Amino acid sequence: MPALILTLLKLIFVALLFLFVWQISRAITGHLGIGVNRVPTRRSKELVLIRGDDVSGERFKVEDVLVLGRSPQADIVINDPYASEFHMRFVSGDEGLVLHDLGSTNGTYVNGRRVTAPQVLVKGDAVQVGKTVLEVR
């Protein structure tokens, strides 16, 4: 077999391998979530548990309403002795993400200040209940 043909075949083989992997890598970006969030979302809707007795780093998406508290019926159940059964409510609406304290015993703090009325949250705000801290993403 002439060496030229073999060289040609080898180059075709490697080129086909590249084509194969390239095609897959193009399709994969969607799977990894790259390019999905290209459009900047104006409003933050996501909460991340920064510190708590349970899972740190757990994310919660506020689609409509989320209630946080010690009760097993709450949407976000936290195991924190300072939290009330139903401690606070996150509402995602036209104004953005709004925090309502549900008359909790020990209060809710946003960036270190106690919440006295419903408060609009922005990205980066730290919401604290007892030892538990959530961050708005």
Partner 1 sequence: MSRSAEAAFLLGASSLASFGVAMANLAGGGGIDAQVALTFLVFLIAFGSLHLALRQWAPRANLFLLPLVAVLTAVGLTMVYRLDPGRAGLQRWWLLIAAGLAVGILFAVRSTGLEPLRRYRYLLLLGALVLLLLPLLPTDWSIPLRGKTVNGSRLWIEFVAGPIGIQFQPGEIAKLLLVVFLASYLAERHAVLASGTRTIGRLRLVEPRQLVPILVAWTASFGVLIYQRDLGASLLLFAVFLTLLYMSTGRAAYLLIGTGMFTVGAFVAWQAFSHVERRVIAWLRPFSDFDGAGYQIAQGLFAMGSGSLAGSGVGLGRPELIPFAQTDFLFAAIGEELGLAGAVVVLCAYALLAAVGFGIAIRSRDMFRKLLAAGLTFVLGLQTFLIIGGVVRILPLTGITLPFMSYGGSSLVSNMVLIAVLARLSHEEPA
**Interacting residues with partner 1 (CB under 8 A):** 1, 5-7, 9-11, 13-14, 16-18, 20-21, 23-25, 27-28, 31-33, 53-57
Cβ 29 to partner 1, closest distance in Å? 10
54 vs 95, beta carbon nearer partner 1: 54
39 vs 55, beta carbon nearer partner 1: 55
Cβ 134 to partner 1, closest distance in Å? 15
State how far the Cα of 124 lies from the Cα of 10, in Å rounded to an integer: 54
36 vs 122, beta carbon nearer partner 1: 36
Cβ 3 to partner 1, closest distance in Å? 8
32 vs 117, beta carbon nearer partner 1: 32
Q: Where are the beta strands (DSSP E) in 84-123?
A: 88-93, 96-101, 109-110, 113-114, 119-121
Among residues 115, 111, 129, 119, which one has the least CA distance to residue 95? 119
- For the record, the structure tokens of 88 come out as 């606070």
3-state DSSP percent of the chain in helix, strand and coil, to 5: 20, 30, 45
Cβ 30 to partner 1, closest distance in Å? 8
State how far the Cα of 135 lies from the Cα of 113, in Å rounded to an integer: 15
